[in-house]
Structure 1
Amino acid sequence: MERTHPANIFVCECITQALFRLMKRKPYHEITVTDIVREAGVSRNSFYRNYQSIQEIITQFLEQKTSEWWNEFITCPDRHPHVISEMFCHFLNMKEEIDILYHAGLSYLLMEHIIRCGKLSQTGEIKNTYQTAFMSGGLCGIVNEWIVQGMKESPEKMEQIFSKQ
């Protein structure tokens, strides 16, 4: 079954929500596939049809949320011209999940995601330049510090800070 099939999308959402609920209650490294499928109310087969590991649930969640945000951003006729502040808005919209990841010691998954996204061009091609690596690394540092400090500064303020780097 493809991940675009409505039933499969629903199963993936159930699994993702179950993992985040479990991560609120117990340490990530203690969560098992059995815990997740019980919490989600799905079968082990459903899990393994969609994921190879528990970590993959998180990476796919980040990819999906970013893809949804980006598609909305580029198609909005009156979008904000500053992609950096819009990106910080995107992270604010995922604050609960990001807080859970940081509490679980999984901040590196968000940083890896940012770097992967930085290497993709608008056409989906991989860019492999030093400038891209530099910008992605700087963005990771600023995003990480912003999250650690409690996401207090506005997205517009964060864009100003990033632009000065």
Structure 2
Amino acid sequence: MAATEHSQKIKQDSQEFLITALLQLLKTKDFNDITITQVVKRAGVSRMAFYRNFETLDDILIAYIEPKINIGFENIINRVPQNQKLTALGNLFEEISDILKMAVNKHYEAIIQNIFDKNMTEFYDQTMDWSQFTAIQRKYWVKFMSAGVYAIWREWLISGQTENINDIHVLLADFQISTLTALRNETTN
């Protein structure tokens, strides 16, 4: 048992060293210019240690970023009253704004967008009543809203957050309500 705990600790340490090394390299380099060799050298671990923990450099970023975003969404889905969820989402966006800005500047935004999309799908699946809609309507409405919310959030962050966040919340709520109303009308006609 002690050997297993020791090997788990080594694996966890290797993961943390690799994450830290990649984040350090991202301070001065574009993600596309970083190699596995550079990361393992900076981390002080072997290539074998890298491949025991990750398959690609993307996987390192996912291991670092995904838990932060997942926890935020999980709290919103399970602990925030329905009428406060959009505001809570806006607060989460503000909290992780540095992560998005770095992703945009260092060219790994697709990783953030995929994590965001998975969480938005879970968010809408857990918080919406889909009984009046077809599976196709649900699927594509969620994709549409996820992409739209992400684009609005990204634009707001990248353009310097000059608009009031409450105005952004109202805009998102209006889009959500009007698109759902249009779908509902389509279903009843």
TM-score, structure 1 normalization? 0.76
Q: RMSD between aligned alpha carbons? A: 2.9
Contact 1:20 1:100 in 2 (8 A): no
Work out whether residues 86 and 155 of structure 1, in 8 Å CA contact, stay in contact via their aligned partners in 2: no
Query: How many angstroms apart in 1 are the aligned matches of 2:36 and 2:147?
Result: 33
Q: 1:15 aligns with which of 18, 30, 35?
A: 18
What is the DSSP-based 3-state SS (H/G/I as helix, E as strand, rest coil) of the residue aligned with 1:36?
Answer: helix
Structure-1 residue corresponding to 2:72: 69
Q: How many residues align?
A: 158
Q: Does 1:51 align with 2:61?
A: no
Distance change (3 Å), C-alpha of 1:36 and 1:80: farther
SS in 1 for 2:32: helix
Matched to 1:147, the amino acid is: L
Structure 1 residues 12 and 90: CA distance shift in structure 2, 3 A: farther
Query: Higher helix share goes to which structure?
Result: 2
Cα distance in structure 1, aligned partners of 2:44 and 2:111: 26
1:33 corresponds in structure 2 to: 36
- Aligned mates of 1:25, 1:103 — CA distance in 2: 11
Say whether the 8 Å CA contact 1:80–1:86 is kept in structure 2: no
- Structure 2 unaligned spans of 5+: 127-134, 176-189
* Structure with greater Cα Rg: 2
* Cα distance, 1:140–1:75 mapped onto 2, change above 3 Å: closer
State the identity %: 23
Q: C-alpha distance in 2, partners of 1:18/1:91?
A: 25
Distance verdict in 2 for CA 1:118–1:73, change over 3 Å? closer
